[in-house]
Amino acid sequence: MSTDYKSGFLAKSTIKAADLDHRRKINFNIGRYNSVVPLGKQQFSDLELARERAKNIKWRAIETLDQQLENFEANFTARGGKVIWAETADQAREAILEICRDKGCKTLVKSKSMVTEEIRLNEFLEKHHIESVETDLGEYIQQLDGESPYHIVTPAMHKSKEDVAKLFAEKLGTDPKLNPEQLTLEARARLREKYIQAEVGVTGANFLISDIGGVAVTENEGNARLSCAWPSTHIVVVGIEKMIPSMQDLGLFWPLLATYGTGQWLTVYNSIISGPRQPGETDGPKEMIVILLDNGRTNLLANPKTRESLYCIRCGACLNACPVYKNVGGHTYSTTYSGPIGSVITPHLRDLNEWKHLSHASSLCGNCTEVCSVKINLHELLLENRAEAVREGYSPFVERIAWKGWKIAMLQRKWMNKGKAGMKDWVVNKMVKGWNTHRADLHFPEKSFNQLWRDKHPAN
């Protein structure tokens, strides 16, 4: 099975890397991102200190995650909320389905949430005849097109305004010449009707706040507020790693997420939701349920080396910085979380043997680590994944023999100097499978540097 995932990734990457129109759109959109992020960073008097503080806070949250989750549950249920612990995606989906059936739900509105993409919630509800409507504009566009999100933060990054206008004309019957403002208003008018119809609203969470039992949601469109406030039942689906110890920590994390996510000082709408409608209140849901999802996260937690990846706040900065992602695109990864962070966590969330190839989809330039808002050593974790795959015996036998031979040769200078250049060329270009599939043939010099040095300095 691992061969199928790998070959699929290589095939899609080959096609997408040669797609110049795709490259033009991505370079344009990431170029706009790169132009505004430096402006957002100006709000920090000491940016490196802010990033280090954020990493330390997440370190504390993850190292004491069991206590933080219990505190969250106690504080949240004290205000009338309900917590469901889901070990797997199946458990989370079944819990949501049971709630929907209990409420007689026919229409469900959903704000942008990568974790609901992870559990394939839309497809699951559709099979059970429940309409699940994405209300984030980017997610709505992707849902209309039958595609998964392309990017953690900007789901339709790979589409131009002309692409969206054409899509709306095909799916909604609108004028194909509509401009972005008109397209947005068209989506808004249609989605407002869904808010009124929906019996259940689903959101994710940017952060879980332990000390108050609250859910923090940050957005730019206001659709998450509508999704959680209009329907009578609000369901939050969130990974257990989203925990922070205190509400005071949001003063650091919200600006960091906004700056590294979109270049803003602060996103437009920032909400803290700590339970259902209370006595005397006139709005909000009558019932609020938080589903705490594991789905492989404890695999990362159990490994002291990979645990650091759970610090991620899903800002998407590493995707925008990665030369591989910018060339092959988000859909080639065939998994929910793409780019460097996706390549780190997916093998542990799903299956190391089947997804180990993603950890090789990197130039190891370290740019992902450089731009990470919470200073995760992403390139080192990619190397750790590769090493773990070898330790688990998932590397091919031929590859192990080849590297063993390489090690022996590299430790013996005389061995390195043996063989004519033509023979070395033949070994690399003909015997090493796939070496020159996407590369020009390699040609070794007639003499190595060591030999040239001895020729020039015979006394040494």
d(C-alpha 165, C-alpha 182), whole Å: 9
Q: Which residues pair with 288 in a beta bridge?
A: 234
The predicted-structure confidence for 249-262, as pLDDT tens digits, reads as follows: 999 999 999 999 99
Domain spans of the chain? 43-295, 406-456
Q: pTM of this prediction?
A: 0.91
Of 179, 250, 174, nearest to 218 (Cα)? 250
In angstroms, what CA-CA distances link 433 with 287, 406, 426, 438? Answer: 59, 16, 12, 11
Encoded tokens for 45: 């008097």
Residue 166 burial (C-beta neighbours within 10 Å; 0-12, 13-18, 19+): middle
Give the right CATH number for 43-295 from 3.40.640.10, 3.40.190.10, 3.40.50.10420, 3.40.50.970: 3.40.50.10420
- 15-25: average pLDDT: 94
Across all residues in the chain, what is the average pLDDT?
A: 93
Segment 214-227, tens digit of pLDDT = 999 999 999 999 99
C-beta atoms surrounding 213 within 10 Å: 21
Residue indicated by tokens 């190839």: 357
Do 170 and 188 form a contact (C-beta atoms < 8 A)?
no
Q: How do residues 236-251 score in pLDDT, each as one tens digit?
A: 999 999 999 999 999 9
Question: Which pLDDT score is estimated for 421?
Answer: 67
Cβ(61)–Cβ(243) under 8 Å?
A: yes
Q: Read off the pLDDT of residues 82-118 as tens digits, 9 standing for 90 and up.
A: 999 999 999 999 999 999 999 999 999 999 999 999 9
What pLDDT does 401 receive?
Answer: 84
Length, in residues, of the chain: 460
pLDDT per residue as tens digits for the range 125-134: 999 999 999 9
Q: What percent of the chain has pLDDT over 90?
A: 83
As a whole-number percent, the residues of the chain with pLDDT over 70 amount to 98
For residue 3, what pLDDT is reported?
A: 61
405 to 392, 399, 400, 410, 422: CA distances (angstroms): 20, 10, 9, 9, 19
pLDDT at 67: 98
**Predicted local confidence at residue 1, as pLDDT:** 45
Note the pLDDT of residue 210: 98
- How far is the C-alpha of 96 from the C-alpha of 289, rounded, in Å? 10
